[in-house]
Chains A and B, each alone.
Chain A
Amino acid sequence: MPTIVVEVMPKAELLDPQGKAVAGALARQGRSQILGVRVGKRFEIEVAGPADDAILAEVAVLADELLANLVIEDVISVHFAGADGFGIDATADFASGNVTTDTSFDEASTPEAQAEIREGLS
């Protein structure tokens, strides 16, 4: 059974009091390098039938109508679980090929950062 992920965030121009509270707590932990936090929602929706564009479009409509209130929130993303490598069904989605093969977003941007990641992994 495919799973579709819907991500919703409070509108960028609106104050996000929840994120502000989290940012305040982090600052109190001495994490002064963290400048801001915004808190959104991730829905993981199991659907029957094939993982195709039709069901994705159907869920996208539901996301606009119910999962988000477009007056105060934006739908950031509607995609099949595993496509982002996170969450339930990631393994199954990788196995079935229901996932992008583009891994460029995993790569660190600078040689220093890449070295740091290698060090961390070893």
Chain B
Amino acid sequence: MAVRVGIVTFPGSLDDRDAARAVRLVGGTPVPLWHGTHDLDGVDAIILPGGFSYGDYLRAGAIASLSPIMSEVISAASTGMPVLGICNGFQMLAEAHLLPGGLIRNDHGTFVCRDQRLRVENTTTAWTSAYAGAVSSVAGATEITIPLKNGEGGFIASADTIARLEGEGHVVFRYLDVNPNGSMNDIAGITNARGNVVGLMPHPEHAVEPGFGPDTTDAMRSGTDGLPLFASALTALLPA
């Protein structure tokens, strides 16, 4: 039986269908979920997609984090269900306190859209296990390139929180080459202590199909470095 991955659509979600396609490409069954219900439809994992829920009113992700379905997402996360927040979804996870820290406007004040190199710092989470030894492994560290597009992607947290994230290996993705938004310690994505909840600003779902991904040295738009992220959750959930 295929693993069922729920993708929640909020008013103003943008990349829900891209995330669904990514799930389908790795052999999972994407299940559309609606923000206004308390129904998780029995899914095995949840993705909070990118976009501009509620027009980023109040703070990015703040109003969505209070949606009816988010109370179900929070309790599912506490029982260990894999939950992934991409971009606006990461902002929701921070606002819902499922992940520490916060996301503020980019330090340079403008929206940024680029293919971004990242280092996968932690390959033991529910969403990154398939990166272990995968893609372009350089000296034990896995480096990937996936698109990044945000206006409020600056990760910030108190000095104590940053020290704890670094000390306990909860930094999952780190920006390489350039820091595109002023994030502290070049942090692009983090996880909770259990490793089932992961949030990141860049968009793995936009690098899953040759012809539509970032450029690589092999060919234009051939990058599919986002695929292992979705494959990780499926592998973790399939019975051995």
Contacts and interface: CB of A to CB of B under 8 A. Distances in A.
B66 A66 contact: yes
Contact of A72 (B58, B66, B102): B102
- Please list the 6 inter-chain residue pairs (A to B) with the smallest Cβ-Cβ separation, ordered nearest first: A71-B102, A72-B102, A17-B109, A17-B105, A21-B109, A72-B104
B101 interface: yes
A18 interface: yes
A69 B95 contact: yes
Interface residues of A, number: 12
B33 interface: no
A4 B175 CA distance: 43
Contacts of B94: 71
A20 B107 CA distance: 9
A34 interface: no
Interface of B: 58-59, 62, 66, 94-95, 100-102, 104-109, 154, 156-158, 182
Interface in A18-68: 18, 20-21, 66-67
A115 B152 CA distance: 46
Interface in A89-103: none
B109 A10 contact: no
Contact of B104 (A14, A20, A21): A14
Interface in A67-122: 67, 69, 71-72
Nearest to A21: B109
B92 to A, nearest CB: 12
A122 B104 CA distance: 45
A17 B95 contact: no
Nearest to A70: B102
Contact of A17 (B59, B101, B107): B107
Given A14-B156, A15-B182, A69 B59 contact: yes
A69 B95 CA distance: 7
Contacts of B106: 17
Contacts of B107: 15, 17
Contacts of B101: 71
A62 B99 CA distance: 21
A20 B102 contact: no
23 contacts: A10-B104, A14-B104, A14-B156, A15-B107, A15-B154, A15-B182, A17-B105, A17-B107, A17-B108, A17-B109, A18-B109, A21-B109, A66-B58, A66-B66, A67-B58, A69-B59, A69-B62, A69-B102, A71-B94, A71-B100, A71-B102, A72-B102, A72-B156
